[in-house]
Amino acid sequence: MYGEHVNGRRTIDLNADVGEGFGRYRVGDDAALIPWVTSVNIACGMHAGDPETMLATVRLAKRYGTRIGAHPGLPDLVGFGRREMRVTPREVYALVVYQIGALCAFCRAEGARLHHVKPHGALYNMAAAHAELARAIAEAVRDTDPDLVLVGLAGSHLISEGEKLGLRTMSEVFADRRYRPDGTLVPRHHPDAVLTDEETAIRQVAEMIRSGRPPGWDAASAAAAATPAPWRAETVCVHGDHPQAAAFARKLRARLEEAGIRVAPWS
């Protein structure tokens, strides 16, 4: 299990959301970022991405031996998939199957393996909080390929519903997001939701990995929130759309290794 001791050292996966350009528009520098992470989540054409971008990103990930995951989102190019939509579990199931299938085809064409699925943006947050949407995503993953890993917010319904269906799961934490005392994320519309200081973000990641708790965790708040799954730190996300993502990922990886935390892809 990641986040646990391996040969005396804690081990963590480092993931990034990539392939989020569209047509003539480029978002982030995937070529610079991918060498410094151990897994990637590739946009599948709904919130971002297009066929050529998906193909190019799969090729990049394969070149560096990086684990490849599908990053399905809501059909909202204008809002980059970060705006909530009124969608039913049935619609979510179909959206996720469709997007997994698209990226899986590119992986097969390139002789690569699709390893995991991590929902994007609003879909991720909605499913983290609502069991019925989380179950629809987990069912889509299971029915597409039960060997795929489902990545979700630590302590959330995405993790618990995936585990109920027998899927392997990975509990995700964020380097650049602030947390509430119950272990949930501060919503993005709050002015202090995103950490902008790199040193603060690096310290936060190291502490979450060592302690197995979110920053500022409070037992009473966690109990009141009735978190559906145990809170674990198994993979850390770096947002690929940030202009300094590559430099930050390189620095974060180096500092974690210096602190005795091994950065490696999950098995």
The model's pLDDT over 29-45, given as tens digits with 9 standing for 90+, comes to: 999 999 999 999 999 99
Identify the helix (H) or strand (E) that includes residue 262: strand 261-263
Q: In terms of Cα–Cα distance, which of 62, 56, 6 is closest to 29?
A: 56
| pLDDT number for residue 183 | 80
| pLDDT number for residue 243 | 79
Residue type, 80: F
In the chain, where are the structural domains located? 5-263
Region of residue 182 (left: phi > 0; alpha: psi -120 to 50; beta: else): alpha
Predicted confidence band of residue 2 (pLDDT cuts 50, 70, 90): very low
Looking up tokens 């500022």 gives 216
Residue 143 makes CB contacts below 8 A (sequence gap 6+) with: 97
| pLDDT number for residue 160 | 96
What CA–CA distance (Å, rounded) separates 190 from 77?
22
Mean of pLDDT values over 198-211: 90
Predicted confidence band of residue 26 (pLDDT cuts 50, 70, 90): confident
Cα–Cα distances (Å) from 184 to 14, 238, 258, in that order, read 20, 17, 28
Residue 221 CA, chain-centre distance (Å), reads: 24
Predicted confidence band of residue 176 (pLDDT cuts 50, 70, 90): confident
Judged against a pLDDT cut of 50, whether residue 6 lies above it is answered with no
Judged against a pLDDT cut of 60, whether residue 1 lies above it is answered with no
Mean of pLDDT values over 91-118: 98
Residue 151 makes CB contacts below 8 A (sequence gap 6+) with: 15, 41, 69, 116, 117, 118, 158, 169, 170, 172, 235
| pLDDT number for residue 9 | 62
Predicted confidence band of residue 223 (pLDDT cuts 50, 70, 90): low
Which regions of 38-101 does DSSP assign to beta strands (E)? 39-43, 67-71
The larger pLDDT score, comparing residue 228 to residue 259, is at: 259
Compute the mean pLDDT over every residue in the chain, rounded to the nearest whole number.
91
Residue type, 150: L
pLDDT in tens, 32-80: 999 999 999 999 999 999 999 999 999 999 999 999 999 999 999 999 9
Predicted confidence band of residue 189 (pLDDT cuts 50, 70, 90): confident
Task: Look at the domain 5-263 and name its fold.
Answer: TIM Barrel (3.20.20)
Question: How many other CB atoms are there within 10 angstroms of residue 175's CB atom?
Answer: 20
Residue type, 238: V
| pLDDT number for residue 225 | 62
Predicted confidence band of residue 194 (pLDDT cuts 50, 70, 90): confident
